[in-house]
Chains A and B, each alone.
Chain A
Amino acid sequence: MATSVLDHVLQHNAWANKTLLEFCDGLEPAALDLSVPGTYGTLYLTLQHIVGGEQFYIRLLTGEVLGAPVRKTERRTLEDLVAISELTSARAIAIAARDDADRVIAPGDDQTTVGIVLAQLIHHGNEHRAQATTILGAHGRTTPKIGAWTYGIVNGISRNDGD
């Protein structure tokens, strides 16, 4: 069976998180405190927010918290964040494959659907990864290539690195 586009989008999301987190893990610790106005916060807080957000979305969808809870008040290592991201990414892909996108879920008083939460998970990751690369770029740092083109190339399923 053909892999769905949604599966590829979620696989890209998982790969981009891991690539960005591992890239940042290779920076000197002070770099994680860099920021620029107009973004979420420091580089570290942005990374933590991406992973914490996905953990929250999976909880909305399944009621489960995967991995150690990510809290704003606790600083986890980037290695921890990679591990949590791997768990939540795998679950998101599994949900997309098996669940009904139109299934209604009701977190608190806010009713929504599986499809909307998955769409938000994808939006959220892309948006904040863009902020992370903006922070790096604004400080004259090299930025990792984390677009879908690059995902296709590193996985041997596409040869286009254009934008």
Chain B
Amino acid sequence: MTDFLLRQMRHGIWANERLLERCRALTDEQLDLTVPGTYGTIRKTLAHIVSAEEGYLVRLLGSLLHEPPLREPDLTLEGIAAHIAHVTNAVERLFAKGSPDPDRVIADTPLRRAGAPRFEMAAWAPAAQFVYHGIDHRSQIDTILSTHGLETLDLQIWPYAMELGASREVKETR
């Protein structure tokens, strides 16, 4: 059985990829749209999602995904696409040897800057935050698109599961 967390993380990647494709159809001006109460522009929010996901995975894996690491990104859509690929690869590596132990204490992150405080945490914390964070900010992009009269996407679990054949309509026959 596929680990539930792995399914959740793959859903997040799927949703980011769909959102990226939607963004490719927007103009530069549209990518710079925002609304009060959200993180920022569409482009910055998508970059923030992917950057944070890399950060959670670096902590979980204990090693950088690439050099130099991604910090405070100001990314083009192509740059975001490249980092989604890093996230995808890292998620699969995380589960390559089975489900990670949620209670394993992670002492530090390779991303910690010199002089910055060190946080210890159980592995479940950045894993759960990965799931929460992506949904939170994708919802904000949805709000921005909708507020400005632009087409939004259905990024719920339902369409993802339908696409995978894990959920489907059954035609009853008599």
Contact = CB atoms under 8 A, between A and B. Distances in A.
Interface of A: 2-6, 8-9, 12, 36-39, 96, 100-102, 106, 109-113, 115-116, 118-120, 122-124, 126-131, 133-139, 147-149, 151-152, 157-160, 162-163
B161 to A, nearest CB: 4
Given A109-B169, A116-B161, A12 B128 contact: yes
B143 interface: yes
Given A2-B103, A118-B4, A131-B139, 4 more contacts: A2-B101, A123-B157, A127-B139, A158-B122
Contacts of A9: 5, 8, 128, 131-132
B76 interface: no
A135 B167 CA distance: 33
19 contacts: A2-B103, A4-B102, A5-B5, A8-B125, A8-B127, A36-B37, A38-B146, A109-B171, A110-B167, A110-B168, A112-B161, A112-B166, A116-B157, A123-B135, A126-B132, A127-B135, A128-B139, A131-B143, A133-B37
B148 to A, nearest CB: 8
Contacts of A149: 125, 129
A123 B129 CA distance: 13
Nearest to B8: A119
Contact of B120 (A4, A39, A102, A159): A159
Nearest to B136: A130
A5 B128 contact: yes
Looking at A38, A39, A130, A152, the one whose CB has the most chain B CB atoms below 10 A away is A38
B17 interface: no
Contact of A111 (B122, B129, B170): B170
B156 A38 contact: no
Contact of B125 (A6, A118, A120, A157): A157
B135 A126 contact: yes
B52 interface: yes
B102 A3 contact: yes
A2 B102 contact: yes
Given A123-B135, A130-B140, A134-B37, A102 B1 contact: yes
Contacts of B36: 36, 137-138
Nearest to B6: A5
A4 B101 CA distance: 8
Question: Across chains A and B, which 8 residue pairs bring their CB atoms closest together, nearest first?
Answer: A138-B37, A137-B37, A38-B147, A38-B146, A126-B135, A130-B139, A160-B119, A112-B167
Contacts of A4: 4, 102
B119 A134 contact: no
Nearest to B143: A38
A130 B135 contact: yes
Given A111-B167, A163-B133, A152 B121 contact: yes
Contact of B136 (A2, A147, A151, A159): A147
Of A113, A116, A129, which is in contact with the most chain B CB atoms at under 10 Å from its CB?
A116
